[in-house]
A = this chain, B = another copy of it.
Amino acid sequence: MNHFGRLFQINIFGESHGKSVGILIDGVNPGIPLCEEDFSNDLLRRKSGGIGTTPRIEDDKIIIESGVFNGFTTGAPILLRFENNNTKSKDYSNLVSQPRPSHADYTAKLKYNGFNDYRGGGHFSGRLTLGLVSAGVIAKKILKDFKFNTKLINLNGEEDSSKFKNMLMDAVSEKDSLGGIISIRVDNVLKGLGEPYFDSLESTISHLLFSVGGVKGVEFGIGFDGVNLKGSSFNDVIIDHEGHTKTNNNGGINGGISNGNPIELKVFIKPTPSIGKSQETYNFKEEKVSELVINGRHDAAIILRAMVVCEACVAIALCDSYLINKAYRED
């Protein structure tokens, strides 16, 4: 459902072409300085990746509706809202008859008996990630010393980042799209975070990441590549009293609990499903396969925008674990 977290609780809402989108956050400690500008940097990171699109710039203005007073969080729920001023009067009804492949068009219609707001993806729109990014900003404030480092390490099979720009230009001109792999590393993580059995750090982090549209794989540490190593090579041997390890194949997590080494993970984001290129897919009205051309401008690689979103997911999961951990620590 649209609620996540035990103590740092987020509730997401909105549709792409409704009145607004946003997030309601409960469980933020009182006394944290917070204002609209605090969100600017991450909201900009989310927007700037829109190669191939005209981002809805004016819509990224955050409104703090509640939970902040005199520049500080109050301890009451924080409602962050983004108005959808710039919604085009475009006709989306063809996507109801002919759902976009790899998109939520078909499943949303099924699940909600056709009552879903299908315009621009509705509740499944990437625009919902504005709320996630904003919650991530607050989570990172609470996590003070934790350092997040998020990188695009693979674009459509290519790992040399100097080639990414040209690849993106080519994708735009081909009216196609590219997927990729994001790497996230968190340094200065407090030891002991994560709540076995079911709230292992890997569990809560992956839970949030897989909520984001387009995420189709998550791996920690060396991940799937570790299949080539035997135990004697895979094991991260501890080398000092602080628990530092020689390697970090486990990505800083053992038994679901942070071990003080950097948390490292990778996220696979599939290529943007909405492409300009013609596709042959089923038309439920015509009851046959026919050509689908999705008009308008499309993100050549949604992954560029997704980087800060994935980082936010990791921060939110860690923040919840951080608060839980405080509750169980001795006074």
Contacts and interface: CB of A to CB of B under 8 A. Distances in A.
Interface stretch (A36-44, A104-112, A304-312): A104-112
Interface of A: 1-4, 6-7, 9-15, 18-22, 24, 26-27, 29-31, 63-67, 69, 72-79, 81, 99-104, 106-108, 110-113, 115-117, 122-124, 128, 154, 156-157, 171, 174, 176-181, 191-192, 194-200, 202-204, 206-208, 210-211, 213, 215-224, 226-232, 234-241, 243, 245, 249-251, 253-259, 266, 268, 270-275, 277, 279-282, 284, 287, 289, 323-324, 326-331
14 contacts: A1-B195, A1-B199, A29-B328, A74-B115, A101-B245, A104-B256, A106-B254, A113-B330, A178-B231, A206-B206, A216-B250, A217-B226, A219-B219, A219-B268
A226 B270 contact: yes
Contact of A238 (B69, B101, B178): B101
A156 B276 CA distance: 41
A287 B18 CA distance: 53
B74 A181 contact: no
Nearest 8 pairs between A and B by C-beta?
A: A104-B255, A177-B231, A217-B219, A202-B210, A107-B257, A30-B115, A231-B271, A69-B117
A2 B201 CA distance: 13
Contact of A77 (B12, B174, B327): B12
A220 to B, nearest CB: 5
A74 B259 contact: no
Nearest to A177: B231
Nearest to A287: B241
Nearest to A15: B66
Given A2-B198, A76-B116, A156 B282 contact: no
A111 B157 contact: no
A294 to B, nearest CB: 11
Given A231-B272, A232-B279, 10 more contacts: A15-B76, A65-B81, A76-B196, A110-B192, A113-B330, A179-B227, A179-B230, A198-B211, A231-B277, A234-B271
Contact of A99 (B238, B253, B272): B238
B3 A69 contact: no
Nearest to A108: B255
A115 B219 contact: no
- Pick the most buried of A180, A227, A330: most chain B CB atoms within 10 A of its CB: A227
Nearest to A67: B13
B1 A198 contact: yes
B26 A239 contact: no
B227 A181 contact: yes
A232 B22 CA distance: 31
A322 to B, nearest CB: 9
Contacts of A254: 102-104, 106-107
Contacts of A230: 156, 171, 174, 176-179, 271
